[in-house]
Structure 1
């Protein structure tokens, strides 16, 4: 077999590992955390892309599902897909849910995602100062809390079936409300910025299991009011939609008939929402 010259080998490796469905990369900001992308090959020729950050659920395997599930959308809509991977037990304690609440030990997951976006924007020579974000289940937890904290970074947010929600309640502390947002995260709530973000919320009307989402005394994330937004995911997401709308946010709400807790069966609705927002964004 003919040995490739250095330049040819580098070019082939970039084509295989850096474009299309990419390799898994460690974050330079925190190598404990990783990411996988779909990058349309046209980016190699300098084509400008928008960005969708798609956040996995508790099982983490949906990072690959979302990378591949949005690949065709990305190719035909000039949009890269970045899927963070936050391993279970990253602090050595077996914990599964820390990322959903944005902070865990010394990790600020929201800041790591911002660093991942900046790192990849530099790598692919793109302007991703604003991006869209989607997440389902545990990812829905992350996305709506990220949106509350960093609305200025988003041109759209799609929130899928979170088990628990943070309402825009100034009388209750995080994570049930936002009273101590600035003390905890160093940023105040800015409803005027949140109101500029087109928000999509989606849940199946048969997504009614409660065993994983009911907070009980003694649980790590139990606090007063933890279950007040409703018993089921549809009820809790409806409460979040009402809270966002009261703050002036334009919320598109999809309650999908006959669908349970199935991330892949909601992607068509998410793509339709994002395509509409992209069309409007690019027409400006």
Structure 2
């Protein structure tokens, strides 16, 4: 049996109701490879098949999984920059009834969140006119955890990287095991982490000036407290220093008068992404 081809907006008459589900804020699409995961996009209203493929920006939600709200917050940006924005949804409870963290750590003992995201990118390219070789990746809080770990495993897929206020950080440290360090990444993921592959990549670390709370941080695991500090400010500074030591020229943007608030730091994120898209 022949597989059904995904319809693109330009496959339909302009007045067809299906066009409204494929442009602007799209419907939520189940991932064919694993329907436990899904994604939605913001596609500029004038999106079409002509010209070079449009840049793809991926924004990854935090623990509360406000994926639709995050996508909508990129609507004006996507129209202005003529880029497509994809927001994945990694539901809670995938590896067990109390699971909220597996996607952040890339869950080597369960599903591979990094591979799920790459599958979403390939699906999106089958329906919309977007680049798949490299994309711009942003995540905040739990999404920031995902984003910097994804960058360790797939630096060759990134056009830029924005990491916002991760509650736990993985340092480039060959003496510690995942997720505290990177010594066993090859055993866990089949990929050797190469800091040199991130050199030259535009990288932003971003956090609110008042993001000093610790109430929502994950408790210590069996190996003890998370490395690199007692709150998100200390941890992102430790990640920044660690990356600079390895020749990764990451900028650190601190947003004044802001605590742990994704939508309050988005203007700084979007300025960074706009500059990267302009290149």
Same fold, judged at TM 0.5 (above): yes
Deviation at 1:46, TM superposition (A): 2.9
Which of 22, 39, 44 is matched with 2:43 structurally?
39
- Aligned match of 1:245: 244
* TM-score normalized by the length of structure 2: 0.91
Q: Is the Cα contact below 8 Å between 1:171 and 1:177 reproduced in 2?
A: yes
Aligned-CA RMSD value = 1.8
Query: C-alpha distance in 1, partners of 2:161/2:74?
Result: 15
**SS of match in other structure, 1:145:** helix
Query: C-alpha distance in 2, partners of 1:139/1:167?
Result: 16
- Aligned match of 1:274: 273
**SS of match in other structure, 1:237:** helix
Q: Is the Cα contact below 8 Å between 1:53 and 1:134 reproduced in 2?
A: yes
Alpha-carbon displacement from aligned partner over 1:7-56 (angstroms, at most 9, x marks no partner): 96796233111111000000111111010100112223535310111000
Deviation at 1:82, TM superposition (A): 0.4
Query: C-alpha distance in 2, partners of 1:138/1:44?
Result: 33
Change (3 A) 1:31 1:273: same
Change (3 A) 1:226 1:199: farther
- Aligned match of 1:114: 118
- Aligned match of 2:194: 190
- Aligned match of 1:95: 99
Query: C-alpha distance in 1, partners of 2:216/2:156?
Result: 32
Deviating beyond 4 angstroms after TM superposition, the runs of 4 or more aligned structure 1 residues are: 7-11
Q: Is the Cα contact below 8 Å between 2:54 and 2:130 reproduced in 1?
A: yes
Change (3 A) 1:81 1:146: same
- Aligned match of 1:262: 261
Deviation at 1:245, TM superposition (A): 1.2
Q: Is the Cα contact below 8 Å between 1:198 and 1:249 reproduced in 2?
A: no
The size of the alignment, in residue pairs, is: 268
- Aligned match of 2:149: 145
- Aligned match of 2:226: 227
Q: Is the Cα contact below 8 Å between 2:24 and 2:44 reproduced in 1?
A: yes
- Structure 1's unaligned 5+ residue stretches are 1-6, 217-221
Q: Is the Cα contact below 8 Å between 1:147 and 1:154 reproduced in 2?
A: yes
Query: C-alpha distance in 2, partners of 1:22/1:167?
Result: 36
- Aligned match of 1:173: 177
Matched, 1:64 2:68: yes
Matched, 1:212 2:211: no
Q: Is the Cα contact below 8 Å between 1:60 and 1:87 reproduced in 2?
A: yes
Q: Is the Cα contact below 8 Å between 2:49 and 2:129 reproduced in 1?
A: no
Query: C-alpha distance in 1, partners of 2:211/2:130?
Result: 38
Query: C-alpha distance in 2, partners of 1:190/1:122?
Result: 31
Deviation at 1:125, TM superposition (A): 3.4
**SS of match in other structure, 1:103:** coil
Change (3 A) 1:75 1:238: same
Which of 84, 87, 92 is matched with 2:88 structurally?
84
